[in-house]
Amino acid sequence: MALEFKKTTAVARDLLGVEDAETLLEWLIKHPRGRVNLSACTHLHASNLQVLMAARPKISAWPKDRALADWLRAALTQ
């Protein structure tokens, strides 16, 4: 499971696939103040990115992969 839900944080690991977007969206709807930890995430499918862009949760940790992090920052912090 690429997504693991803690009490207030969703932790993404490895690859967030296209199916995970739905799960992530549901969790973010239920937890409007939830945080997302992407530090162990190596790639996320664009659909997940859309969810994050629409929900704008607080990102508690950015991916370690610099290229991915750059794009995510561009999308989520501007």
Partner 1 sequence: MNPLLDQFLSEGRDFLQSIGERLLQLEEAPGDSALMNELFRLVHTLKGNSGLFDLPEMTRVLHAAEDLMDAVRDGRIPFDRPLADCLLEAMDFVATLIDEIAEAPGDAPPSTAHHASDALRLGETLRSLLQDRARSADGADPAEEEPPAPPERPEAGASDARPSALDPIDLPEPLRADLIRRLEAGGSFCWLRYEPEEECFFKGEDPVHQMLQLGDPLWCRLESREDWPPLAELDAYRCLLRFEAILDTTPERLAEHFRYVPDQVRFEPLSQEILTAATAAEGGPASTSDRAFSAEAEWSFDLVLEAQREILALSDTPPWLDGRLRAVAASLSAAFASVGRESEIEGLEPALQAAIETRSPTPLFAWLAARHPQPHAGRATAPDDDTGGGSDRIAAAPAPGEPTSISSSDPEESIRFGRRAEDQLTSPRTLKVDQVKIDRLMNLIGEMVVAKNALPYLAGRAEEVFGVRELAREIKAQYGVINRIAEEMQDAIMQVRMMPVSFVFQRFPRLVRDIAHKLGKEVRLVMEGESTEADKNIIEALADPLVHIVRNSLDHGLETPEARQAAGKPREGRLSILARQESDRVLIEIADDGSGIDPDRIRRKAYERGLIDEAELERLTDQEAINLVFAAGFSTAEQVSDLSGRGVGMDVVRNAIARVNGSIDLRSQVGRGTTLRLSLPLSMAVTNVMIVESAGQRFGVPMDAVAETVRVARSDIRTIKRRRTTMLRGRLIPLLALNDLLALDAEQIANDDDELAVLVVRVDQEYLGIVVDDCRETIDIILKPLAGFLGGLTGYAGSALLGDGSVLLVFNPRELI
The CA-atom distances, in angstroms, between 51 and each of 4, 21, 45, 76 are: 16, 7, 10, 11
54 binds partner 1 (CB under 8 A): yes
Stretch that binds partner 1, among 3-11, 33-41, 49-57 (CB under 8 A): 49-57
50 binds partner 1 (CB under 8 A): yes
**Degrees, nearest 5: CA angle 45-46-47:** 90
Residue type, 19: E
User: Using CB under 8 A as the criterion, which residues of the chain lie in contact with partner 1 when the complex forms?
Assistant: 18, 21-22, 24-25, 28-29, 32, 43-51, 53-55, 66-68, 70-71, 74-75, 78
